[in-house]
């Protein structure tokens, strides 16, 4: 029986028999050179031209992150956000990612977790908590394409933080 990898991206969960950037790029419409995997222990895995190194099957599902195949030119530093737990207080895993010379996200340089309540689930409050962390001062929360989240109707709805 073939080994299956369980991956999730943007709320979509699936099982794959082959785990490589070409498959993930086609499935989730991501630029394959930007794809990283993150396991349940927040370990980041990069493609090394042959495989994602040392993935432990017990630490699945693997979170897929990367830049959309069509994206806007990013600002300086970028942060991606993902939900950690479904409880009254949610843990957001936030990665600090520097941009490479070609403008694409580079390798994550720092990972932090921010606890927020339903009432704190607003862009300005999350930015405030983020900026209180060493190394994140004066930086804003962005999506994986590097676009800062705005404080508007779309990000103020409960669905955005569900």
Domain of residue 150, residue span: 78-161
What are the structure tokens assigned to 46, written together? 């990069």
19 and 7 in contact (C-beta within 8 Å)?
Answer: yes
- What length is written for the chain? 162
**Are 88 and 53 contained in the same domain?**
no
Residue 122: pLDDT over 60: yes
Residue 104: pLDDT over 80: no
Q: What is the count of structural domains for the chain?
A: 2
Domain membership of residue 122 (yes or no) is yes
Largest Cα–Cα separation, the chain: 51
Residue 86: pLDDT over 50: no
Domain membership of residue 124 (yes or no) is yes
Is the preceding peptide bond at 61 cis, omega within 30 degrees of 0?
A: yes
Enter the pTM of the model.
Answer: 0.43
């Amino acid at each position: 029986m073939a080994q299956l990898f369980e991956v999730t991206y943007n709320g979509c969960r699936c099982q794959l028999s082959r785990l490589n950037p070409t498959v993930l790029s086609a499935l989730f419409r991501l630029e394959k050179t930007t794809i990283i995997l993150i396991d349940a222990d927040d370990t980041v895995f990069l493609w090394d031209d042959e495989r994602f190194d040392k993935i432990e099957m017990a630490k699945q599902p693997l979170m897929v992150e990367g830049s959309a195949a069509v994206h806007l030119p990013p600002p300086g530093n970028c942060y991606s956000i993902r939900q950690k737990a479904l409880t009254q207080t949610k843990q957001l895993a936030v990665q600090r990612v520097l941009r490479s010379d070609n403008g694409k996200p580079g390798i994550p340089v720092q990972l932090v977790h921010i606890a927020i309540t339903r009432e704190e689930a607003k862009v300005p409050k999350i930015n405030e908590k983020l900026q209180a962390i060493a190394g994140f001062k004066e930086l804003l929360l962005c999506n994986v394409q590097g676009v800062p989240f705005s404080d508007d109707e779309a990000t103020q709805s409960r669905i955005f933080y569900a």
